[in-house]
């Protein structure tokens, strides 16, 4: 029900009039009685617990945003039984859609570039936040121009705090025909490049006076590609035309990698350090805009100082080791330049120079020590298969190095799959199969445990009409498709609607734990270094794995051939929770038993599911979600140390 004019909300905001209305709420023009100024009040009427938590998370993050081209969030509050509210600065001005309608033709290129440059600056700021923020609804109507010619990016009603590579977006449906890329229709991964597509489509409209066709229709062949910009407006400069066409590629991997890259191409300039993402990489901060770009160290004085430093360190190590190198370290692990390594043989002087005194360093493929030596005692032989105290079969993964992440040769690699490097892991056992409904039922019977879905009386399932994920009451691991579904839960299928919290509790009950991200990837690779999938480089089909277009739901565990470690369903069927917090790049501070960052917003998911496309099944592919999130595609398996 709409708020009437004159009503005072939260004892502070008097409603003046309605500014806009949608399916989940409305936006009002209000008077702040305390601060005595006009503001915008955004109302969300979905009172489900999960929506309230998500809304609160986003309000807290938006509250911290400070940028001249973004409206400032002033307040956030909840009225029980009514809705959630965000109060923002009111931007007084005319939006670009209104200006386009009045002009009855294209807007001047020079003026459009001035406004879009400001919008790009705001987007670069949003995309650089931690966690990243994706606007997801850029269009002419959401760019307002103030009286002093400032461009303001407005309407955060469907903006998402974003964990990159999240394969299932939870929240309001974010689709605007003509401006939304295919991935926002469920045809891929939504990320910062989705905003770049919408920005390109916005510029196309502003410079031609015509909206481009809907991306999903172009992809399906129901609509032809958009006509060239110069068909409508021959005065558009070649660099602007090319930049917009680049931004509007249907395949998100073919678009510019960042807003800064897109803006540089619009202006026909080389990409500079301005706006570049900075990574802390061993020797200082090396900036890169393109993932494969190498950065040359031009200061030989700096290089010589590094050489001198490591020469001194090497002499000290030799003295302490009796001129024989470093032996087994039986004390507590110590932090080294490569992270926390229990026992290593330090590289010699020549190796040190090779590692650190090179003329260039690669961001994607970091240099690694030539060898890593673990404890030198000979461990007793371990069985290749065991059953734990709950009779769950587990396979042995022996200690050693493996190559983790995506190599440069993988043309489908995502930005969060690097750096590609050698990682050492101790020996561990991992479940042969994904945890089944039968096994989880034993856990519940023994402990009385209630999952997050049961506590909240809701889970997430796919609406077969809209093909969007929707929160539904009565959904949990025993009712994964809803309380009224006639499909029986199969005992030998993987348990789903499981949160990270639930998976942790189950593994602890078994005296086990969730695998680290590195442990999961090594197990999935099955010893096939550099392979795209657990079975090799051959593209998936329905005889190898359960993914989109195969069964339309989970399959019995072990329905497909195992990898070389004897592990089943390491690709497809269900996403599997990992222990680590997610960050955009792997935790590159450690190459020995890495456990990820110390904190974060969401935990890692691996392996893809029955609802995902074939590229999501790659062993290096990464997903993530909040620890209390549960969907019909989320499951897990456990590991334990011998």
pLDDT for position 269: 67
- Structure confidence at residue 190 as a pLDDT band (50, 70, 90): confident
Contact 174, 137 (CB under 8 A): yes
Identify which of 13-27, 136-150, 302-316 has the greatest average pLDDT. 136-150
pLDDT surpasses 80 at 156: no
Are 238 and 140 contained in the same domain? yes
User: Is the predicted pLDDT of residue 515 greater than 90, yes or no?
Assistant: yes
d(CA 546, CA 560): 8
Q: Write down the pLDDT at residue 466.
A: 63
Asked whether residue 315 falls in the same domain as residue 387, the answer is no
- pLDDT exceeds cutoff 70 at 199: yes
Residue 367, pLDDT > 80, answer no
Which ranges constitute the DSSP H helices of 448-493?
Answer: 452-456
Amino acid 312: pLDDT? 56
Q: Are residues 607 and 567 in the same domain?
A: yes
Tell me the pLDDT tens digit for each residue of 379-405: 457 899 999 889 999 999 999 999 999
**Judgement on whether residues 231 and 327 belong to the same structural domain of the protein:** no
**C-alpha span between 95 and 102 (Å, rounded):** 11
pLDDT of amino acid 338:
23
Question: Is residue 320 located within the same domain as residue 456?
Answer: no
Q: Cα(578)–Cα(404) distance, rounded to whole angstroms?
A: 15
Query: Could you tell me if 445 and 35 are in contact, meaning their C-beta atoms sit under 8 angstroms apart?
Result: no
Q: Rounded mean pLDDT of the chain?
A: 79
3-state SS, residue 184: helix
Domain boundary (240, 275, 310) is at 275
CATH number at residue 176: 1.10.510.10
Task: Check residue 252 and give its pLDDT.
Answer: 83
Whether residue 285 lies inside any domain: the answer is no
Give the pLDDT confidence of 103-130 residue by residue, as tens digits: 878 999 999 999 999 999 999 999 998 7
d(CA 150, CA 135): 19
**Is the bond preceding residue 139 a cis peptide, omega within 30 degrees?**
no
- Domain region containing 190: 97-275
| Same domain membership, residue 465 and residue 593 | yes
Q: Which two tokens stand for residue 64?
A: 């911290």
CA distance 214 to 211: 9
6 secondary structure, DSSP code: T
d(CA 422, CA 592): 9
Both tokens of residue 390? 């709950």
Q: Is residue 373 part of a domain?
A: no
CA 492 to chain centroid: 30
How far is it, in rounded angstroms, from Cα 441 to Cα 462? 24
Q: Do 219 and 239 belong together in one domain?
A: yes
Do 472 and 560 belong together in one domain? yes
Assess if residue 293 is contained within a domain.
no
Kindly report which listed range (70-79, 235-244, 496-505) carries the lowest average pLDDT score.
Answer: 70-79
pLDDT top residue among 168 and 464: 464
Q: In this structure, are 101 and 27 located in the same domain? A: no
500 and 544 in a single domain? The answer is yes
Can you name the residues that pair with 9 across neighbouring β-strands? 13
Residue 84, beta-bridge partner list: 44, 78
Q: Into how many domains does the chain fold? A: 4
Residue 559 has pLDDT above 80, yes or no: yes
Domain containing 498 — which CATH number?
A: 3.90.1580.10
Q: Are residues 80 and 108 in the same domain?
A: no
**Distance separating alpha carbons of residues 182 and 576, to the nearest angstrom:** 25
Q: Is the same domain home to 110 and 78?
A: no
| Domain assignment of residue 371, yes or no | no
Indicate whether 3 belongs to any domain: no
The whole-number pLDDT of residue 375 equals 34
Average pLDDT over residues 313-334: 39
Query: Which tokens belong to 449?
Result: 């445990």
Question: In angstroms, how far is CA 407 from the centroid of its own chain?
Answer: 19
Give the angle 159-161-162 at the CA atoms, nearest 5°. Answer: 110
Residue 406 lies in a domain: yes
- At 397-426, the pLDDT tens digits run 999 999 999 877 777 788 788 888 899 999
């Amino acid at each position: 029900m709409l708020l009437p004019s004159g009503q005072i909300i939260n004892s502070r905001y008097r409603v003046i009039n309605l500014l806009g209305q949608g399916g989940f709420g409305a936006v009002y023009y209000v008077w702040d009685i305390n601060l005595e100024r006009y503001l915008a009040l955004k109302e969300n009427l979905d009172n489900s617990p999960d929506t309230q938590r998500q809304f609160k998370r986003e309000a807290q993050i938006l509250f911290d945003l400070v940028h001249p081209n973004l409206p400032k969030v002033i307040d956030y509050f909840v009225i029980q039984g009514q809705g959630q509210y965000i109060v923002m600065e009111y931007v007084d001005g005319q939006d670009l859609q209104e200006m386009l309608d009045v002009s009855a033709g294209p807007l001047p290129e020079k003026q459009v570039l001035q406004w879009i440059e400001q919008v790009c600056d705001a987007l670069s700021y949003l995309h650089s936040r931690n966690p990243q923020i994706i606007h997801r609804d850029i269009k002419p109507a959401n760019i307002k121009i103030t009286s002093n010619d400032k461009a303001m990016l407005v309407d955060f009603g469907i903006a998402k705090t974003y964990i990159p590579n999240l394969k299932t977006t939870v929240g309001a449906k974010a689709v605007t025909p003509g401006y939304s890329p295919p991935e926002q229709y469920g045809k891929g991964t939504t990320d910062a490049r989705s905003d770049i597509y919408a920005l390109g489509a916005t510029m196309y409209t502003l410079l031609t006076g015509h909206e481009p066709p809907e991306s999903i229709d172009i992809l399906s062949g129901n609509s032809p590609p958009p006509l060239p910009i110069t068909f409508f407006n021959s005065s558009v400069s070649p660099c602007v035309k090319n930049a917009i066409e680049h931004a509007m590629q249907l395949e998100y991997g073919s678009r510019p990698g960042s807003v800064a890259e897109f803006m540089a191409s619009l202006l026909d300039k080389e990409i500079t350090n301005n706006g570049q993402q900075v990574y802390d990489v061993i020797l200082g901060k090396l900036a890169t805009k393109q993932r494969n770009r190498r950065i040359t160290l031009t200061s030989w004085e700096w290089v010589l100082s590094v050489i001198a430093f490591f020469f001194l360190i090497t002499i000290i190590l030799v003295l302490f080791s009796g001129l024989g190198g470093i032996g087994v370290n039986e004390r507590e692990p110590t932090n080294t330049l490569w992270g926390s390594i229990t026992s290593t043989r330090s590289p010699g002087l020549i190796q040190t120079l090779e590692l650190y005194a090179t003329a260039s360093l690669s961001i994607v493929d970091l240099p690694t020590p030539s060898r890593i030596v673990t404890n030198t005692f000979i461990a007793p032989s371990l069985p290749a298969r065991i059953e734990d105290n709950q009779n769950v079969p587990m396979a042995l993964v022996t200690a050693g190095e493996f190559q983790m992440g995506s190599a440069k040769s993988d043309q489908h690699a995502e930005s969060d799959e690097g750096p590609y490097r050698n990682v050492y892991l101790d020996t561990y056992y991992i479940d042969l199969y994904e945890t089944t409904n039968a096994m989880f039922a034993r856990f519940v019977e023994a402990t009385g445990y209630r999952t997050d879905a049961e506590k909240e009386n809701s889970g997430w399932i796919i609406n077969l009409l809209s093909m969007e994920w929707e929160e539904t009451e009565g959904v949990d691991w025993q009712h994964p498709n809803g309380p009224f579904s006639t499909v029986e839960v199969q005992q030998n299928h993987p348990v789903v609607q499981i949160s990270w919290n639930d998976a942790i509790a189950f593994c602890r009950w078994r005296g086990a734990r969730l695998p680290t991200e590195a442990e999961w990837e090594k197990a999935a690779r099955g010893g096939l270094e550099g392979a795209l999938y657990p079975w090799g480089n051959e593209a998936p089909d329905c005889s190898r794995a359960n993914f989109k277009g195969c069964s339309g739901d989970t399959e019995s565990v072990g329905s497909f051939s195992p990898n070389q470690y004897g592990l089943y369903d390491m690709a497809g069927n269900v996403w599997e929770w990992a222990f680590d917090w997610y960050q955009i790049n792997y935790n590159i501070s450690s190459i020995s038993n890495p456990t990820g960052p110390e904190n974060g917003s969401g935990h890692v998911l691996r392996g893809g599911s029955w609802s995902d496309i074939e590229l999501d099944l790659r062993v290096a592919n990464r997903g993530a979600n909040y620890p209390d999130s549960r969907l019909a595609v989320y499951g897990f398996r456990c590991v334990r140390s011998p």
